[in-house]
Chain A
Amino acid sequence: MSLFSSLSVSASGMAAERARAALLVENLANAETTRTPEGGPYRRKDAVFASEPVASPFGSAFANAIGAEGTGVRVAEVLEDSSAPERRYLPGHPDAGADGYVAFPHINPVEDMVDLMSASRNYEANVAAISAVKDMISHSIDLLK
Protein backbone atom coordinates (compact mmCIF):
# COMPACT_ATOMS: atom_id res chain seq x y z
CA MET A 1 0.00 0.00 0.00
CA SER A 2 1.34 3.36 -1.00
CA LEU A 3 0.35 4.83 2.36
CA PHE A 4 3.22 3.01 4.03
CA SER A 5 5.79 4.66 1.80
CA SER A 6 4.29 8.04 2.76
CA LEU A 7 5.63 7.28 6.21
CA SER A 8 9.15 6.92 4.75
CA VAL A 9 8.77 10.24 2.94
CA SER A 10 7.83 12.07 6.15
CA ALA A 11 10.52 10.24 8.12
CA SER A 12 13.15 11.45 5.65
CA GLY A 13 11.85 14.98 6.17
CA MET A 14 12.13 14.60 9.94
CA ALA A 15 15.69 13.25 9.66
CA ALA A 16 16.76 16.11 7.39
CA GLU A 17 15.25 18.80 9.64
CA ARG A 18 16.84 17.19 12.68
CA ALA A 19 20.26 17.18 10.97
CA ARG A 20 19.80 20.84 10.10
CA ALA A 21 18.77 21.71 13.65
CA ALA A 22 21.92 19.93 14.92
CA LEU A 23 24.10 22.13 12.68
CA LEU A 24 22.29 25.30 13.77
CA VAL A 25 22.72 24.42 17.45
CA GLU A 26 26.40 23.74 16.78
CA ASN A 27 26.68 27.22 15.26
CA LEU A 28 25.08 28.82 18.31
CA ALA A 29 27.33 26.89 20.68
CA ASN A 30 30.43 27.90 18.75
CA ALA A 31 29.53 31.54 18.19
CA GLU A 32 32.64 32.62 20.12
CA THR A 33 35.00 29.73 19.33
CA THR A 34 38.39 30.96 18.18
CA ARG A 35 40.20 27.61 18.03
CA THR A 36 39.29 24.59 15.90
CA PRO A 37 41.24 21.41 15.02
CA GLU A 38 41.63 22.76 11.47
CA GLY A 39 43.02 26.00 12.86
CA GLY A 40 41.42 29.44 12.90
CA PRO A 41 37.98 30.35 14.19
CA TYR A 42 34.87 28.15 13.86
CA ARG A 43 32.99 28.57 10.60
CA ARG A 44 29.21 28.67 10.35
CA LYS A 45 27.67 25.51 8.87
CA ASP A 46 24.36 25.08 7.09
CA ALA A 47 22.65 22.15 5.40
CA VAL A 48 21.56 22.06 1.76
CA PHE A 49 18.58 19.81 1.08
CA ALA A 50 17.96 17.79 -2.07
CA SER A 51 14.94 15.68 -2.93
CA GLU A 52 15.38 11.97 -3.37
CA PRO A 53 13.09 9.01 -4.15
CA VAL A 54 12.34 7.13 -0.96
CA ALA A 55 13.61 3.64 -0.38
CA SER A 56 10.91 1.54 1.18
CA PRO A 57 12.03 -0.77 3.95
CA PHE A 58 9.64 -3.30 2.44
CA GLY A 59 10.16 -4.89 -1.01
CA SER A 60 10.56 -1.87 -3.28
CA ALA A 61 9.20 -3.65 -6.34
CA PHE A 62 5.93 -4.19 -4.51
CA ALA A 63 5.86 -0.68 -3.08
CA ASN A 64 6.52 0.91 -6.48
CA ALA A 65 3.76 -1.07 -8.14
CA ILE A 66 1.08 1.06 -6.50
CA GLY A 67 0.53 4.78 -6.32
CA ALA A 68 2.19 7.98 -7.46
CA GLU A 69 5.86 8.46 -6.85
CA GLY A 70 6.66 10.11 -3.51
CA THR A 71 9.78 12.14 -3.03
CA GLY A 72 11.73 12.24 0.20
CA VAL A 73 14.50 14.60 1.17
CA ARG A 74 18.10 14.25 2.27
CA VAL A 75 20.92 16.54 3.35
CA ALA A 76 22.90 16.89 0.11
CA GLU A 77 25.83 18.79 1.58
CA VAL A 78 26.95 20.79 4.56
CA LEU A 79 28.14 24.22 3.53
CA GLU A 80 30.76 26.05 5.55
CA ASP A 81 30.70 29.82 5.63
CA SER A 82 33.74 31.05 3.72
CA SER A 83 33.40 34.73 4.51
CA ALA A 84 36.22 36.50 6.35
CA PRO A 85 36.13 36.08 10.13
CA GLU A 86 35.16 38.97 12.34
CA ARG A 87 38.23 40.68 13.79
CA ARG A 88 38.15 42.09 17.29
CA TYR A 89 40.95 44.02 18.94
CA LEU A 90 41.87 42.00 22.07
CA PRO A 91 45.65 42.22 22.56
CA GLY A 92 45.53 40.21 25.80
CA HIS A 93 43.78 37.21 24.18
CA PRO A 94 45.96 34.07 23.76
CA ASP A 95 44.79 33.72 20.14
CA ALA A 96 45.55 37.33 19.23
CA GLY A 97 47.77 37.87 16.21
CA ALA A 98 50.86 40.09 16.15
CA ASP A 99 48.64 43.13 15.53
CA GLY A 100 46.48 42.37 18.58
CA TYR A 101 43.39 41.30 16.61
CA VAL A 102 41.56 38.02 17.29
CA ALA A 103 39.58 36.24 14.55
CA PHE A 104 36.07 35.37 15.75
CA PRO A 105 33.47 33.29 13.87
CA HIS A 106 31.16 35.26 11.61
CA ILE A 107 27.96 34.13 13.34
CA ASN A 108 24.75 36.05 13.86
CA PRO A 109 22.87 34.23 16.65
CA VAL A 110 19.57 35.81 15.59
CA GLU A 111 19.90 34.31 12.11
CA ASP A 112 20.56 30.88 13.60
CA MET A 113 17.67 31.18 16.03
CA VAL A 114 15.28 32.07 13.20
CA ASP A 115 16.53 29.13 11.10
CA LEU A 116 16.20 26.89 14.14
CA MET A 117 12.57 27.91 14.57
CA SER A 118 11.88 27.16 10.92
CA ALA A 119 13.59 23.75 11.20
CA SER A 120 11.50 22.98 14.26
CA ARG A 121 8.24 24.05 12.55
CA ASN A 122 9.04 21.95 9.49
CA TYR A 123 9.81 18.99 11.73
CA GLU A 124 6.38 19.40 13.33
CA ALA A 125 4.75 19.56 9.89
CA ASN A 126 6.34 16.22 9.03
CA VAL A 127 5.13 14.75 12.32
CA ALA A 128 1.60 15.98 11.50
CA ALA A 129 1.83 14.27 8.10
CA ILE A 130 2.90 11.01 9.73
CA SER A 131 0.04 11.09 12.19
CA ALA A 132 -2.50 11.85 9.43
CA VAL A 133 -1.23 8.94 7.34
CA LYS A 134 -1.18 6.72 10.41
CA ASP A 135 -4.86 7.54 10.98
CA MET A 136 -5.66 6.60 7.38
CA ILE A 137 -3.85 3.30 7.75
CA SER A 138 -5.55 2.42 11.00
CA HIS A 139 -8.94 3.31 9.50
CA SER A 140 -8.27 0.94 6.60
CA ILE A 141 -7.44 -1.75 9.10
CA ASP A 142 -10.79 -1.09 10.79
CA LEU A 143 -12.47 -2.27 7.60
CA LEU A 144 -11.45 -5.79 8.53
CA LYS A 145 -13.27 -5.69 11.84
Chain B
Amino acid sequence: MLDPVAGSLERYMDLLAARQKLVASNIANAETPGYRTVDVDFEQEFRSMVAGAQPRAVEVTGLDINHDGNNVNLDREARMLAENGLRFQVAEALLKSKLTEMREAISGGGGG
Protein backbone atom coordinates (compact mmCIF):
# COMPACT_ATOMS: atom_id res chain seq x y z
CA MET B 1 0.00 0.00 0.00
CA LEU B 2 2.67 2.47 1.04
CA ASP B 3 6.00 2.95 -0.72
CA PRO B 4 9.17 0.86 -0.09
CA VAL B 5 10.52 3.50 2.32
CA ALA B 6 7.58 2.87 4.62
CA GLY B 7 8.25 -0.88 4.40
CA SER B 8 11.88 -0.32 5.39
CA LEU B 9 10.80 1.90 8.27
CA GLU B 10 8.48 -0.80 9.51
CA ARG B 11 11.31 -3.35 9.43
CA TYR B 12 13.61 -0.89 11.15
CA MET B 13 11.09 -0.37 13.95
CA ASP B 14 10.53 -4.12 14.32
CA LEU B 15 14.25 -4.61 14.67
CA LEU B 16 14.54 -1.80 17.21
CA ALA B 17 11.74 -3.39 19.24
CA ALA B 18 13.53 -6.75 19.17
CA ARG B 19 16.75 -5.07 20.21
CA GLN B 20 15.06 -3.20 23.05
CA LYS B 21 13.76 -6.52 24.32
CA LEU B 22 17.28 -7.90 24.47
CA VAL B 23 18.45 -4.76 26.30
CA ALA B 24 15.64 -5.33 28.82
CA SER B 25 16.83 -8.96 29.20
CA ASN B 26 20.39 -7.82 29.78
CA ILE B 27 19.32 -5.35 32.45
CA ALA B 28 17.07 -7.91 34.17
CA ASN B 29 19.96 -10.37 34.24
CA ALA B 30 22.59 -7.87 35.43
CA GLU B 31 23.30 -10.06 38.45
CA THR B 32 22.62 -13.53 37.11
CA PRO B 33 25.74 -15.70 37.40
CA GLY B 34 27.02 -16.87 34.03
CA TYR B 35 24.69 -14.65 31.97
CA ARG B 36 26.24 -13.14 28.82
CA THR B 37 25.13 -9.90 27.16
CA VAL B 38 23.09 -10.47 23.99
CA ASP B 39 22.29 -8.15 21.10
CA VAL B 40 21.26 -8.35 17.44
CA ASP B 41 23.72 -7.76 14.61
CA PHE B 42 21.72 -4.72 13.58
CA GLU B 43 23.14 -3.89 10.18
CA GLN B 44 23.28 -7.45 8.94
CA GLU B 45 19.78 -8.24 10.22
CA PHE B 46 18.38 -5.10 8.64
CA ARG B 47 19.87 -5.99 5.26
CA SER B 48 18.80 -9.63 5.31
CA MET B 49 15.55 -9.42 7.19
CA VAL B 50 12.50 -10.39 5.19
CA ALA B 51 9.11 -9.44 6.53
CA GLY B 52 8.11 -11.70 9.40
CA ALA B 53 11.56 -13.24 9.92
CA GLN B 54 12.94 -13.42 13.43
CA PRO B 55 16.19 -11.60 14.15
CA ARG B 56 18.83 -13.79 15.77
CA ALA B 57 20.28 -12.88 19.14
CA VAL B 58 24.07 -13.07 19.32
CA GLU B 59 26.46 -12.76 22.23
CA VAL B 60 28.32 -9.47 22.47
CA THR B 61 32.08 -9.80 22.52
CA GLY B 62 34.67 -7.54 24.07
CA LEU B 63 32.95 -6.94 27.41
CA ASP B 64 34.68 -7.55 30.74
CA ILE B 65 33.55 -10.76 32.40
CA ASN B 66 33.36 -10.49 36.17
CA HIS B 67 34.05 -13.16 38.80
CA ASP B 68 30.70 -14.96 38.46
CA GLY B 69 30.84 -15.24 34.66
CA ASN B 70 28.43 -12.37 34.02
CA ASN B 71 29.42 -9.65 31.54
CA VAL B 72 26.48 -7.23 31.67
CA ASN B 73 27.66 -3.62 31.57
CA LEU B 74 24.86 -1.39 32.84
CA ASP B 75 26.37 1.71 31.21
CA ARG B 76 26.27 0.03 27.83
CA GLU B 77 22.68 -1.04 28.41
CA ALA B 78 21.63 2.45 29.51
CA ARG B 79 23.12 3.88 26.34
CA MET B 80 21.41 1.28 24.16
CA LEU B 81 18.12 1.90 25.94
CA ALA B 82 18.25 5.62 25.20
CA GLU B 83 19.58 5.15 21.67
CA ASN B 84 16.88 2.63 20.69
CA GLY B 85 14.18 4.87 22.10
CA LEU B 86 15.41 7.88 20.10
CA ARG B 87 15.88 5.90 16.89
CA PHE B 88 12.37 4.56 17.31
CA GLN B 89 11.02 8.09 17.70
CA VAL B 90 12.76 9.22 14.51
CA ALA B 91 11.41 6.25 12.55
CA GLU B 92 7.98 6.86 14.02
CA ALA B 93 8.01 10.52 12.91
CA LEU B 94 9.07 9.54 9.39
CA LEU B 95 6.44 6.84 9.12
CA LYS B 96 3.84 9.24 10.43
CA SER B 97 4.68 11.72 7.66
CA LYS B 98 4.24 8.90 5.12
CA LEU B 99 0.85 8.11 6.56
CA THR B 100 -0.16 11.78 6.52
CA GLU B 101 0.91 11.98 2.88
CA MET B 102 -1.30 8.99 2.05
CA ARG B 103 -4.22 10.40 3.99
CA GLU B 104 -3.94 13.70 2.17
CA ALA B 105 -3.86 11.92 -1.18
CA ILE B 106 -7.06 10.09 -0.22
CA SER B 107 -8.86 13.20 0.93
CA GLY B 108 -7.71 15.18 -2.11
CA GLY B 109 -5.13 17.37 -0.39
CA GLY B 110 -7.60 18.80 2.08
CA GLY B 111 -9.56 20.56 -0.67
CA GLY B 112 -12.27 17.94 -1.03
Q: Which residues of A are in contact with B by a Cβ distance under 8 Å?
A: 1-3, 5-7, 9-10, 12-13, 16-17, 20, 48-51, 66-73, 118, 121-122, 125-126, 128-130, 132-133, 135-136, 139-140, 142-143
Contacts and interface: CB of A to CB of B under 8 A. Distances in A.
Interface string B8-31: 000001101111111111011111
B99 interface: yes
Most buried by B among A7, A10, A50, A129: A129
A43 B89 CA distance: 50
A72 B16 CA distance: 19
Interface residues of B, number: 39
A132 B85 contact: yes
B21 A68 contact: yes
Given A10-B24, A68-B21, A125-B77, A118 B31 contact: yes
Contacts of B38: 71
A67 B17 contact: yes
Nearest to A119: B31
A3 B27 contact: no
B28 A126 contact: yes
The 7 tightest CB contacts between A and B, nearest first, are A13-B28, A70-B21, A6-B21, A49-B32, A71-B25, A9-B24, A67-B18
Contacts of A12: 28
Interface of B: 13-14, 16-25, 27-33, 35, 38, 40, 54-57, 74, 77-78, 81-82, 84-85, 88-89, 92, 95-96, 99
Most buried by A among B13, B17, B21, B92: B21
Contact of B27 (A5, A67, A125, A135): A125
Contacts of B21: 2-3, 5-6, 9, 67-68, 70
B27 A13 contact: yes
A133 B92 contact: no
Contacts of B22: 68, 70
A51 B32 contact: yes
Given A9-B25, A139-B88, A142-B92, A128 B17 contact: no
A69 B57 CA distance: 7
Contacts of A51: 25, 28-29, 32, 35
